Amino acid sequence: MRITILNGEPDPTSAFDAYQALLADRLQALGHTVEKLDLRALEIKGCSGCFGCWVKTPGECIKRDESATICRAAISSDLLLLASPMTMGFTTALLKRAADQMIPILHPYFVVEGGEIHHRARYAHYPKLGLLVGAGLDTDAEDIEIATAMWRRMARDMKSTLAFTAVADRAAEEMANEIALAA
């Protein structure tokens, strides 16, 4: 399985960052291909809602930044692992900035799916999504549930499903096994 980790941790010295490195190693040891994208190191300008990626340069953001790296990695992956510490009850703004920049992988046309209006697919294949969070001191079960609900909707819009939400509270090896099973 090809796995892309979108690392939304702003702090390179954090334990959660080290945990992801370990997890990537364990997943590789299980035979998966893993690419970890440290979002803090990528130049992502942020979506300004111009719809240029839909109506000017279809499929690509009109801004010259590194958001194309994320879109390309997503489309060529089987699992997109959204990794972020919980902050103020949700995943980070850094991770959200990457997610906002992913709309080029959809087509603007409207379709009805599951009884709701959504956008048409642009690609034949989309990755499954997984959510890996580092709980903060004030994170409670409700926060995880709400974050899961929002990312589940995002997955649905991305023609995919949220395969799991996992809290990074167990050994990386155990987590790697669980992720391989869930995805």
Task: Give me the residues that bind other proteins (CB under 8 A), please.
Answer: 46-51, 54-60, 68, 71-72, 74-76, 87-90, 92-94, 96-97, 99-100, 102-103, 105, 107-112, 115-118, 120-125, 138, 142-143, 146-147, 149-154, 156-157
User: Can you read off the two tokens belonging to residue 64?
Assistant: 């010259």
Select 71 or 172, whichever has its Cβ closest to other proteins: 71
CB of 135 to other proteins, least distance (A): 14
User: Can you read off the two tokens belonging to residue 75?
Assistant: 């489309």
Q: What are phi and psi of 43, to 5 degrees?
A: -85, 105
User: Can you read off the two tokens belonging to residue 180?
Assistant: 């391989």
CB of 176 to other proteins, least distance (A): 26
Closest CA to 179 of 126, 125, 131, 143: 131
Select 48 or 161, whichever has its Cβ closest to other proteins: 48
CB of 166 to other proteins, least distance (A): 19
Closest CA to 67 of 95, 89, 44, 41: 44
